Amino acid sequence: MSQQDFVIAPSILSANFARLGEDVDQVLASGADWVHFDVMDNHYVPNLTIGPMVCKALRDHGVTAPIDVHLMVKPVDRMIADFIEAGATSITFHPEASEHIDRSLQMIRDGGCKAGLVFNPATPLHLMDHVMDKLDMILLMSVNPGFGGQKFIPHTLEKIQAARTRIDASGLPLRLEVDGGVGLNNLAEIAAAGADTFVAGSAIFGARQASDPHAFDTIIKQLRAELTKN
């Protein structure tokens, strides 16, 4: 896979929310590709984060990069409509959180966004089999969703390989995204397993140093260097 096919998507879950617009501007200026936007409802997952107003605020602030919205909410359909209106580029959700997976995916597509399913560590991949034609991306969680800063679950590498096999067999141009515990220590092997889109929160925003205004430049260059090892 060529270097330009890889996407680095910093998760703003680890950003400084008191200066969110500035943080997002800085990571994008440092070479990040997408903004990963984690939405949690304290119902589907045991945490509460941000909603469509923050997405719209980033657009109004001037962010033009793709905003990749990961819905960890149940039910999902109302939030899908709200995030389409707020300026999302892509919207992914968990199959367990929708009563009608096909309908929810079609809602996203009809709204002009890219659509995807998210698979928790113990969620079987076969849930994608009958909706492949409505998918633009698959997101594999390499931690249990709800909190940033968790450690990568090692057997996710086998699941990435299995998902890549399914995607390649379909002949469809789906992106394979991985989220959770992604950093310099494992990025190369995650890419080697077949992923092409990488969500990193604490690995990127945790590199911030008050004494180094170029910290984001440095960490994103280091992540890109890891991706050249394949």
Nearest to 183, CA basis, from 164, 163, 161, 198? 198
User: Residues 23, 33, 38, 68: which is the catalytic one?
Assistant: 38
Question: Measured between alpha carbons, how far is residue 89 from residues 34, 198, 204, 220, 228 in Å?
Answer: 9, 16, 22, 22, 27
DSSP one-letter code for 208: -
Active-site residue, 68 included: no
Residue 45's CB is within 10 A of a number of other CB atoms, namely: 21
User: Residues 41, 68, 136, 179: which is the catalytic one?
Assistant: 179
Active-site residue, 179 included: yes
d(C-alpha 91, C-alpha 5), whole Å: 20
Nearest to 182, CA basis, from 205, 214, 212, 215? 205
Residues with active-site annotation: 38, 179
